[in-house]
Amino acid sequence: MPIHPLPPELISQIAAGEVVERPASVVKELLENSLDAEATAITITVRGAGKTLIEVADNGHGIPAEELPLAVARHATSKLQTAEDLFRIRTLGFRGEALASIASVSRFTITSCARGASMGARLRVEGGRVIGGVEPVGAPTGTTVRVEDLFYNVPARRKFLKSDATEKRRIDALVTRYALAYPHVRFRLTQDGKLSLQTAGNGERRDVLAALYGAEIARRMLQVEDSTPEIRISGFISPPDITRGRRSEIIFFVNGRPVQDSTLSAALLRAYHTLLMVGRYPIAVLFIQLPPEDVDVNVHPTKAEVRFRNPDAVFRAVQHAARRALLAYTPIPDLELPPAPEAPRPEWLGGGQPTQPRWESPPFPQTQAPNAGERASAAPQPLPQTGTTTEQSAERQPMLSGSKIPLLRPIGQIAATYIVAEGPDGLYLIDQHAAHERVLFEKLMAQRESSVASQALLEPVTVHLPPQQARMLEEQLPYLERWGFEVEPFGPGTFRVRAVPAILAKYSPSEALRALVEDFEEDETPLQGEIEARIIARVCKRLAVKGGQVLSPQEQEALIRDLEACQNPRSCPHGRPTMIHISVATLEKQFGRLGAK
């Protein structure tokens, strides 16, 4: 095929592939235009996850009627004059290709009225072709962009979009970030006629946090304020006891622009060093201000990444500012002593009195080892061990049938995380968190065959979630009802919990709900038959006893007995082992006793 120039429509669609990845990309570009126009009120209306309609209306300075055709032309902008301006960009947009790219893959209408003008103007574009010309219309000051039938002329792009629920969550998350960055702007987001987000626009960032996370979390967020001669760091971070299971709620803004940067996240987590449990992450909204010439924002097609002239200085500034806030505001935690030895069986393990050890040392009488044929037919899969083989373990260890574990006698705890237990053939180290996960999971799953007992709360508990998490929880409400939860929407981003499964009645309902949503991967779409088990596994993971939690001897005993009663006691619902085994043979070898026999 000979080399030939591409038609303008195809050029525009190729360019749109870099700028307009999905409906959230359209919302991002239109929001940035509104903010660059100094709007103080922005209304976003979405239908059909953005594929049917995206409309963004603002009260900015507007576009004069004679400039509307240029606004939808490629590489036409009011934000750059010379090449040198690329190195001191102070606006969110600057390339002059967003509106042209969006108009090339949609049915596009822009209506605008410049400040001081007596009449507005409207222009329509379909698939990159202007329909008619500029029409005079009555309109308030500002600009309204209406994008309909996104990707109607490139159906292949529509096939690669995620589910409607996922695309809606991405729009929710995007608008949330800009609302945090611009608290003086009043944002209102509506999806399919339902209000998702609304902020006051009063300039108080903590009020925006309250709208997203609830008043209690907003009140406890730690304010960050620090600066060097060239870099200013401000914003909010959560105290160490308010955490999430993912990094998705760590948000950075550089000169008002939301960015993704693993180095900045590493700097923040360095500030939390020794303060967070493994696998837990803070909530953070941090703003980095530095001279425009010290940051290059023209390194990514969607401007989601930036390059710093002095990245080490930015890293140190973020780490120092966050650590300073943590040291200044974080109180010394109270120590909760374990209950006295005579305390009854803890309620978190099901109530009742603790059972007595079922054998004393020596735990088992000497028995004759079974022959090889018996071992092959009856011996279960061995537990993870240290320094011994399967054959050695099978010969010396009387085991319960099936996948059960041997009878164990608790001895104590190591690092308030692992229970040390004596078994018929050596030492067992039990991960208390993984073990309790398994116990809770199997108790709930066992009730599924009949009906899960539900415990009504004396007073309904109100839980507030960010828009994207609220939407995710709404999708799971039918499954929650089958598991004994009674949860109902109670306004934008707010839910009222009226009942919980009886087995979880002693836990915080808000913690249970947050566990359902925060650990889901953004694009996770489990099979229908598996989603219930995954939901319950997440709840159990959050509510199980944690590593670092001191357990009384009665609690250790009760946990081991409940674990022995499980159908699959050797791993937690997520696949991690609950225990490892160090055999007597290994101990004898390490102490040099084998050679003395």
Phi/psi of residue 332, each to 5°? Answer: -75, 125
Beta bridge partners of 149: none
DSSP E strands, 138-200: 142-148, 186-191, 194-198
Residues with Cβ < 8 Å from 119, sequence gap 6 or more? Answer: 65, 113, 136, 137, 138, 139
For residues 284-298, give the mean pLDDT.
Answer: 87
Contacts of 323 (CB under 8 A, 6+ apart): 271
Select the highest-mean-pLDDT range: 91-95, 402-406, 410-414: 410-414
pLDDT in tens, 451-509: 667 888 888 888 888 887 888 788 778 777 877 788 888 888 888 988 887 766 666 77
Report which DSSP code applies to 85. G
pLDDT for res 530: 56
**Dihedral sign (CA 271, 277, 281, 282):** negative
Per the DSSP assignment, residues forming a β-bridge with 464 are: 494
Q: What value does the mean pLDDT take over residues 385-402?
A: 41
Q: Are 289 and 231 in contact (CB under 8 A)?
A: yes
> Does pLDDT of 570 surpass 50?
yes
The two counts, helices (H) then strands (E), for the chain are 18, 24
433 backbone φψ class: left, alpha, beta (φ>0; ψ -120 to 50): alpha
Average pLDDT of the residues in 257-264? 86
Task: Collect all residues with Cβ–Cβ distance below 8 Å to 21 and sequence separation of at least 6.
Answer: 302
pLDDT of residue 366: 36
Is residue 9 over pLDDT 70? no
Query: Which tokens go with 410?
Result: 């608790």
pLDDT band at 16 (very low <50, low <70, confident <90, very high): low
What are the tens digits of pLDDT across the range 138-163? 999 999 999 999 999 888 888 888 88
pLDDT at 199 over 80: yes
Query: Residue 344: its pLDDT value, please?
Result: 52
Comparing 107-116, 284-293, 470-479, the range with the smallest average pLDDT is 470-479
Instruction: Return the pLDDT at 15.
Output: 59
Residues facing 190 on adjacent strands: 45, 195
Percent of the chain whose predicted confidence (pLDDT) is above 90: 28
43-52, 83-92, 259-268, 551-560, range with the lowest pLDDT: 83-92
Residue 392: what pLDDT? 41
Selection from 252, 250, 259, 254 nearest residue 283 by Cα: 250
Mean pLDDT within 276-303: 81
pLDDT at 298: 65
Judged by DSSP in three states, 308 sits in: strand
**In the sheet that 53-58 helps form, which strands lie side by side, from edge to edge?**
129-137, 120-126, 107-113, 142-148, 53-58, 41-47, 186-191, 194-198
Characterize the bridge pairing of strands 53-58 and 281-282. Answer: unpaired
pLDDT score of 535: 65
The whole-angstrom separation of Cα 244 and Cα 374 is 49
Q: Residue 198: left (phi > 0), alpha (psi -120 to 50), or beta?
A: beta
Identify which has the larger pLDDT, 193 or 385: 193
DSSP code string of 222-281: EEEEEE-SS-EEEEEE--TTSEESSGGGEEEEETTEEE--HHHHHHHHHHTTTTS-TT-E
Instruction: Give me the pLDDT at residue 43, please.
Output: 97
Write down the mean pLDDT value for the chain: 79
Q: Both tokens of residue 560? A: 């081991």
Paired sense of beta strands 494-501 and 486-489, if any:
antiparallel
Q: Does residue 279 register a pLDDT over 70?
A: yes
pLDDT, tens digit (0-9, with 9 covering 90-100), for 158-196: 888 888 888 998 999 899 999 999 999 999 999 999 999
pLDDT of residue 572: 84
Q: Please check whether residue 247 is in contact with residue 282, taking contact to mean a CB–CB distance below 8 angstroms.
A: no
Work out the pLDDT band at 246, boundaries 50, 70, 90. Answer: confident
Check residues 106 and 84 and name the one with the higher pLDDT. Answer: 106
Q: Which residue has the higher pLDDT, 574 or 465?
A: 465
pLDDT at 58 over 90: yes
DSSP 503: G
pLDDT(32) > 70: yes
Predicted TM-score (pTM) of this structure? 0.66
Other C-beta atoms lying within 10 Å of the C-beta of residue 585: 21
Mean pLDDT of 568-583: 84
Residue 258 has what pLDDT?
87
The least confident of 93-97, 253-257, 265-269 is: 93-97
pLDDT reported for residue 51: 94
Instruction: Please say if the pLDDT value at position 513 is more than 80.
Output: no
> Domains along the chain?
8-203 (3.30.565.10), 221-329 (3.30.230.10), 390-597 (3.30.1540.20)
What is the rounded average pLDDT of the residues 305-330?
Answer: 88
77-91: average pLDDT = 65
Task: Find which of 3-7, 11-15, 245-249, 364-368 is predicted with most confidence, using mean pLDDT.
Answer: 245-249
Question: How far is CA 284 from each of CA 147, 179, 196, 251, 299, rounded to the nearest angstrom?
Answer: 33, 14, 21, 6, 25
Q: Which of 83-97, 410-424, 536-550 has the highest mean pLDDT?
A: 410-424
Q: From CA 30, how far away is CA 261, in angstroms rounded?
A: 23
Whether residue 361 is predicted with pLDDT greater than 70 in this model: the reply is no
Bigger pLDDT: 561 vs 353: 561
Q: In this predicted structure, what is the pLDDT of residue 53?
A: 96
Place of tokens 């490139």: 154
Q: Is residue 354 pLDDT above 50, yes or no?
A: no
Alpha-carbon distance 220 to 239, whole Å? 7
Confidence of residue 50 (pLDDT cuts 50, 70, 90): very high
